[in-house]
Each structure stands twice: as C-alpha cells, then as structure tokens.
Chain A
Amino acid sequence: MSVLDILEIILTFGAIIVLTPLLGKYMANVFEGKITIFNKIENLIYRILGIDAHEEMTWVDYTLNILVFNLIGFLFVLTILMFQGRLPFNPQHFAGLSFPLAFNVATSFVTNTNWQSYGGESTMSYFSQMIALGTQNFLSAATAITVLLALVRGLSRKSVPEREAKTLGNFWKDLTRSTLFILIPLSIILALILVKQGTIQNFSSYVHATTIEGKDQLLPGGPAASQIAIKQLGTNGGGFFNVNSAHPFENPTPLTNWLSLLSIILIPAALTYTYGLMIGAKKQGWAIFAAMMIMLMVGTFVIMKSDLGVNMMEGKETRIGIINSSMWTGWTSAASNGSVNAMISSQAPIAGGVAMLNIMLGEIIFGGVGCGLYGMILFVILTVFLSGLMVGRSPEYLGKKIESREIKMIILAILAPSTCILLGSALGVSTKIGLSSLSHQGPHGLSEILYAFTSAAGNNGSALAGLNANTNFYNYLLGFTMIIGRFAVLIPVMAIAGSMVTKKSSPPSFGTLATDNAIFVVLLIGVVVIVGALTFLPALSLGPIVEQFLMNKGILF
C-alpha cells in the first residue's frame, strides 16, 4: 500500500464525515418544512393532484398507504416488464420478460434490493429501465425515508396526559419532500458529473463499429447516467449493464468511482445527523454514526487486507485497482446498495464473507437510505432493553418507556429476515434444482447460495455472481425472501412508532442509561455483533471461513 493509497482511503472516509452534518442539516430542514419556497412548490403539487397532504395519519393509516403505494408500484413494474416488447424506446427489440423473471425484478426494485438475475444491456429496453426501474429507484428509497420519519416522530412527539399524541405525519408529504427536494437534486448533480466523465446518456440504438483489426463491434447505448446516479444515491444498486459499476460506460474514471462510492453511504450517513436534529439531541445522532462508522471501517479493512493478500486482478478493473474494489465491496454490502465495481466472487473468500456478514447484521451499518437507520434504531432500543435488564431498571429511550410490545416487534424484525436466509439457503443446498445453478464446487458453492439469500433478505442486491439465479426456483424463492426482508421489518417498525408516540416522555433521571456516549456505542456494537454472530457463525464457518483456510493451505476446487 503506497502513501497515495492511504491518502485516497483517508480522503474517502473523511469526505463522509465532513458531508454528514452538511447534508444532514439540509435534510432536516426539508423534512420539517423550513424552506419556504419548497413549501410553495409542494402545496402546488398537492393542489393539482387534489390530495390532502397535511392531514395527519395514525400508524395504521400511514402503513396502509405505504403498502398500497408499493403494491401499485409492484404491479406497474411487473406489467411494463412483461410487455416491454410492445412498448416504445426499445431499439434493440428486446422481448417481454417471462413471469418468474418479471416477478423477481419487480419485487427486487420495489423492495430497494435491486438483485439482478438478468443482464441489463441484453434484456431491458430503455423504456423499462427508465419508467419501471428508474422510478422505483427513487420511490423505494423515498418509501424507506418516510418510514424513518414516522419512527422519528413516534420517538420525539410529546404525549401529555390530557392529549395523547397518536399521529406520525403524512405519508404523501414525506414521500414528496424526500423525492423532490433530496433525491432528485442530488441525482441531477451526480448524473451530470458522470456524463462529463464519460458515462453514457442517450436514446440511440447500439452503434456498430469496425475495430482496427477489422472486426464488428456493437457498442451499447442508453440513458445510463440518470439511472446510475439514483442507483447509488438511493442505495438501490441495480446496474444499467450486466457487470454493474465495473462497466466502463457506467463508471468510466477514478473520479466517477470515488463519487459513486461516496454516494453509496452519503444519505444513510447524513440521516444520522438529521435524526439527531429532529429528536432535538445531536449527540444521539453522532453516537449512532460512530457505531456505524467503526463497524464500517473494521469490515472494510478486513476486506482490503485479505484482497491484498490474494493479490489477483481477476474480476477487477485496471483504472480502479484492488484497494478501491475492496473499499467498494465493504461499503456496498454495509449500505444495502449492492452495486459492485469488481466481482465479489473473485475476491478473497474472507472478503466475500465480510460482505455477507455486513448484510446479515441487518443492513444497519449505515444500511439503505432510511431503512439502515430505522433498523439501527431497533438495535438501539434492544441495547437499552438488555442493559436495563442487566442493571434491573425499567428501560427507556429518549424519555419513553420500552415495553414488551416494542421488544416483541423488534424480535420479529430481526428474526424474519434471518430465518429466510437460513431456511432459504438450506433449501438451496439440499435440493437438486437449487444445486444445479452452482458454478463452483466446495465451500465457495455454499457461499454462492448463502450469499444469494442473504442479499435478498437484506435487500442488498449484490451477489457471488457465479450462481445462475435466473431459474424459476431462485426467481420465486428469492423474490419472496426480498418481500419478507423488506416488509417484515418495515411493518414492525411502524408498529413501534405507533406505540411509542402515545407514550408519555419523562425527563432523564439519575438512573437513566445515557445513549449518547462512548460506552453506549460499545454496547450497541456488542449487541449487533452478538446477535449477528450467534445466528450466522455456523453458516459462515462452512462457507467463506473454511474456504479461506483451505486456500491458504493451497487446496483448490
């Protein structure tokens, strides 16, 4: 590792630390409606659409709206994909997708997973990419932000004895503000820089070229930059092209690589600061940020160290190099993004193992836009609860009591995705149909299947891409896993928001556990790691861990 490499790493982590409070403050202003001109714009939109976006919603109303809105999105994407052959902007005349594949892609993009069991440039028309997939890139990210905002209000709104708070805000308003004033402006900036650097943005048919040695070469086209910008910023990760951000048309230069990498973590990181501001205690936000950052750094450095140990450029791009590939794998798995700039399957076994663990912990190391933070808040509450048990005091967070209903919901939200990962993988490795998709023998084969279910349950979308996932078996099974991974967390979070908002808040007393200091950060990391490790260590040992040991001994498969 050279001095320049170290400087590049510091610059990358440093940029996130610097940008977090800046973007965080802006987002808080947007969510709280403090920017007058934005209020005028959104009110105009609500008037035109004829909806009442100022009416407060209870948790049941709010959740119902989320579900209906996402169901509409799902049916819309499904329809477009199946009939893309008859729709415009399809210069390569791609046929409509089969139902199992369309089902998989639709769930994948609605749940912010963006798992791809198809090759972009050989399957999807420009119309499908823009109208179906591009739109969901925005809306799935915005949906998660609305859930986070509902939870924040649940925790911060004060209930008083004479007037119990019941409502959590308005779903449409939160959705509009997140999309219109945060995701779209950031995407426009990033997309234009990407194009300047060489990412393509056109509607042309694929171009025929005659190479210097006289061969025919077919150069792909398409509105890539606009889609790639939101794929990174919205922690979606679904590439325009098959090889995702390894493709020179997606990620042409070291600068686009760096900016894309920052965009993966940017909003999830900044939201911790927004959270601190909105609950009126900045330190609470920083404590969560610190816990996430420490876990991100440890994971990323383990990946980097193991990749440098293997020292192979297979599956990596020259302009990007090993270190930037390792860093990307660490960040994209932690942040529920799932885009890749190098093939994880060709990285060191332990690198793939850390990526899997990052996802298995619940996508809470920054995690997806919105969902990373609401997932982490569940762990914060769990930590407070466990600490309360240890010292024998009734647990409370931000002055509100934590009771059995909340803990039950948290357990549900943690167990549901974990169960899907383990049961799904078990089904994959114990059936002929599951095993027939493998491209590797030995422990790497187990890793391929385990990674697939982990990625789906964590709504991540990256893959050990040797696995041929475009089969009915995987398309359906992973599709259902994605749905459970998304909604079996989202609904419990909304239920917690709904019960927390009605609780009276009391000022901190002598016995209250502080949740904004270093001790709490350590406790929180401890709880996250213990819960994750207890659940997944056996599976990881049989996959990436044993593979690394065998490889170090020179055993090949």
Chain B
Amino acid sequence: MYAIVVATNIGIFVLLALSLNIIAGYAGQSSIGHAAFFGIGAYTSAVLTSTLGVNFWLSLPIAFVVTGLIGALLGLASMRVKEDFLAITTIGINFVVVAIFQYAPIFGASLGMSVSKPSLFGVKMDNLMFLILVGALIAAMVIFMRIIEKSWFGLALASIRNDEAAASSLGVNIVKFKVLAFAVGTAVAGLAGGVYAHYMTFIYSSDFAFLVSISILSMVVIGGIGTIRGPIVGAIILGIAPELFRFISDYRMIVYGGLLVLMMLFQPQGIVGNGSFLVNKFEALFGKGRKKSVVS
C-alpha cells in the first residue's frame, strides 16, 4: 500500500529530526550536515550485510555504534570552531562524506549499492513490518529523549546552550557534554540510515546530500526546536506536503521556499514550539498545568 510506503519514509525522517534535535536543540550546536551521518549509517550497514554477509539485526547496532563514534570524532574536531564556523564546517563534512561515497569502490562508487531485504524469523520483511520497526524505534527514541530532558546530561546541555561561559565556570565539562550530544545524535541518525538502506534496498550518494541535511534541519525548526513534539510534527508536515501539493507539482518548490520564509517571518519558534501561537492557545485553554520542558 502506498500509504505505508509514505508513512515509513516519514517515520525515518522523524527519527532523523529527533536525533538532530539532540545536537541542535538540546546542545544548541548549529549542525547543518546531519545527512552525512544518516549516510554513514546506511553505507555501514549496507556493506555489512551485502558485502560481509552480516545479519541485518546485527548490522543495525553496529551502524549505530560506528556512526556515533565517527560523530564523536568529528564533534571533537569541530569543538575548535564555534557557531557559524561550526555550521559551515558541518556542511563541509557533509560534502566530503558524500564525495567519499561517490568515489570509494567499496561503497559502489557512482553506481550506488543495492541491498537485499532482510528477514525476521525466516520471513522476508515487507513494508508493513518496516513501518512497525520504524514506529518502535521512534517510540524508543521519544522515551529516551524524555529521560535525557530530566537527566543531568539534559540539564548540562541546557546550561551550555543558554550560556556556555557560565556553565563552564560552574564546572560543567563543556567539551565532554557537547561531544556526547554529537555522539548520541549522530548514532541515532546512523541507525535510521541502516533501516533506510534495507528498506529502500538501493542507496546512492546523493540520497545523503546537503539538501537532505537542510530538509532535516527545516523539519526541526518548523516543528519547534528543542522540544520532542516539534521535530515529529515538522517531519510529518514536510513529509506529507509533497503528497498534498502533488496536484500543483510544478509549483512545489516555489511553495516550499515561500512557506519556509513565511514560517520564519511569523512563527520562528516553530508550529508547536515553546511560545508558538498553537501552544500558547493550548495552554490558555487547558490551564497552566503543563510543566514547561527543560528547553525553554
């Protein structure tokens, strides 16, 4: 069914948006190359299953760990640069990583890589099973992020985001927490990549290009950066939009570009972000019983 295909795709992007939110929302680090890690996870698991014959269910945690380690390493290197320098460095990482996918023979170079569909208990996984897998991963991720928000890790990240110098003077180990945020955020993107590769059964370097990073970031910001609901809503809206605008397919990009500008002009905190029109109305209607989340 077509709806299942679209839903699974959107689900993968929900995971990506949530994982970027840990880096960009919780830790406040402008990372604009998230698709690079999505790609690293996808290619890692693809090489593991197709070339080395590793089981799909083993390849996912390996992709998770490998991507997280690379993310931590690049995060550590990026600590030398700040703010806008960091933003551009992450764009650079995206381009270099895509270039490696496109030129290294082990990654199929310019031909891309084909991957066979995995099986579960001897049954070949169909689209519905992938949708369930993605749904389960999203649920786990949401629980995980709730734990982060309440934990010492989440508080440390919030303090870094609000005032790095003050946090440092209070003894928060800035480098450790930033690198940890990078590691966790990129590892989840790698996991999403592993699922994506086996779901699509074919991956190509341009699937992980800079434009993909921009759309992941747009999902986070349009939904509401720093919240859990925001990236989910953003990914669903931007994922469904191309389907809704199909009848005006020739005007899709111009509508998309225009909406991005209007959104930033009138609701820069995101559709369901803290302090947005919808959330304010909701809180006015249902009282102030809701506790403000860690990220304000």
* A pairs with B: no
Binding site for B on A (CB under 8 A): none
Interface residues of B (CB under 8 A from A): none
